[in-house]
């Protein structure tokens, strides 16, 4: 059985990290590099770093900063934001990124998923799906949750798997930053539709929420931001709670 991963999410906006509620009302939480160094010591399995404004000006990723982050990050690093072509992916991988996360490009240029998977392997590309409920189903949104793509999440998740995505990062926009728990029905619907790992994101407020989304909805990993930024809860505590619930977790990574 695959071990469940605990993955902090770092939202990068211009000169530092932010966190909001429902992809809005952003609150600054500090610079990027010190946070990465802290998480190196906190028994995390991976880190996700997302530039949430890259879609606005269509600029290239800040390779110089990302190179600095990659040099000091001792756990697998996933980067997303502003990725539009395979050449950018090549530069990011050379800068120390292990995986790339695509969101807006999934809709604007879906063939990029296949290009990345063909050149670097499916494990390199993460399909990041930000979704809202319409009452009967869930629709996918792009451009940091501001644009309704008209795509329904289950069908689109299947398409991304077929195109070569190695995993799905599934975020409930409505639950984001609320501490109310993951959307279990949403996660379960996607888990049942695809055979690749699904990372649950949006709403974690307790260790029990993490246990539930893995045990009851089938998530392969839990991503979280606010719970680690604004409470006393830690990735190590999350792993302990998961293990006590009978869910296999990875041993802590400790840099030399």
Strand positions, DSSP E, the chain: 5-13, 16-21, 24-30, 47-51, 77-80, 99-102, 125-133, 138-142, 147-152, 167-172, 198-201, 221-224
Q: What is the pTM of this model?
A: 0.93
Instruction: Please state, in angstroms and rounded to a whole number, the distance separating the CA atoms of residues 115 and 121.
Output: 9
Confirm whether 254 is domain-assigned. Answer: no
**Element containing residue 63 per DSSP (H, E):** helix 63-72
Q: Report how many domains make up the chain.
A: 1
Q: How high is the pLDDT of residue 210?
A: 98
Confirm whether 124 is domain-assigned. Answer: yes
Confirm whether 255 is domain-assigned. Answer: no
Q: What is the pLDDT of residues 120-137, one digit of tens each?
A: 999 999 999 999 999 999
Confirm whether 251 is domain-assigned. Answer: no
Check: CB of residue 13 under 8 Å from CB of residue 25.
Answer: no
Q: How many other C-beta atoms are found inside a 10 Å radius of the C-beta of residue 203?
A: 24
Give the mean pLDDT of 213-225: 97
- To the nearest whole number, what is the mean pLDDT of the chain? 91
**The CATH number of the domain where 195 resides is what?**
3.20.20.70
Q: How high is the pLDDT of residue 25?
A: 53
Confirm whether 256 is domain-assigned. Answer: no
Give the mean pLDDT of 207-214: 98
Q: How high is the pLDDT of residue 58?
A: 74
Confirm whether 59 is domain-assigned. Answer: yes
């Amino acid at each position: 059985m695959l071990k469940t991963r605990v993955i902090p999410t770092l939202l990068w906006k211009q000169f530092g990290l932010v966190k909001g509620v429902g992809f809005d009302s952003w609150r600054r939480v500090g610079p990027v590099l010190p946070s990465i160094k802290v998480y190196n010591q906190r028994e995390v399995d991976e880190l996700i770093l997302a530039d949430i404004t890259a879609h606005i000006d269509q600029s290239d990723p800040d390779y110089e900063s990302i190179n600095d982050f990659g040099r000091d990050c001792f756990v697998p690093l996933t980067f997303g934001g502003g990725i539009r072509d395979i050449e950018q992916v090549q530069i990011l991988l050379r800068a120390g990124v292990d995986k790339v996360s695509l969101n807006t490009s999934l809709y604007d240029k879906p063939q990029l998923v296949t290009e990345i998977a063909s050149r670097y392997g499916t494990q390199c590309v993460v399909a990041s799906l930000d979704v809202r409920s319409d009452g009967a189903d869930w629709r996918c949104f792009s451009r940091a949750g501001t644009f309704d793509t008209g795509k329904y999440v289950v069908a689109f998740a299947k398409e991304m798997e077929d195109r070569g995505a190695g995993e799905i990062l599934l975020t409930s926009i409505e639950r984001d930053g609320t501490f109310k728990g993951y959307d279990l029905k949403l996660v379960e619907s996607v888990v049942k539709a695809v055979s690749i790992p699904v990372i649950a994101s949006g709403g974690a407020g307790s260790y029990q929420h993490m246990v539930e989304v893995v045990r009851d909805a089938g998530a392969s990993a839990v991503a979280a931001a606010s719970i680690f930024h604004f409470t006393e809860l830690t990735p190590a505590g999350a792993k302990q709670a998961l293990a006590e619930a009978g869910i296999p977790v990875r041993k802590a990574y400790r840099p030399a």
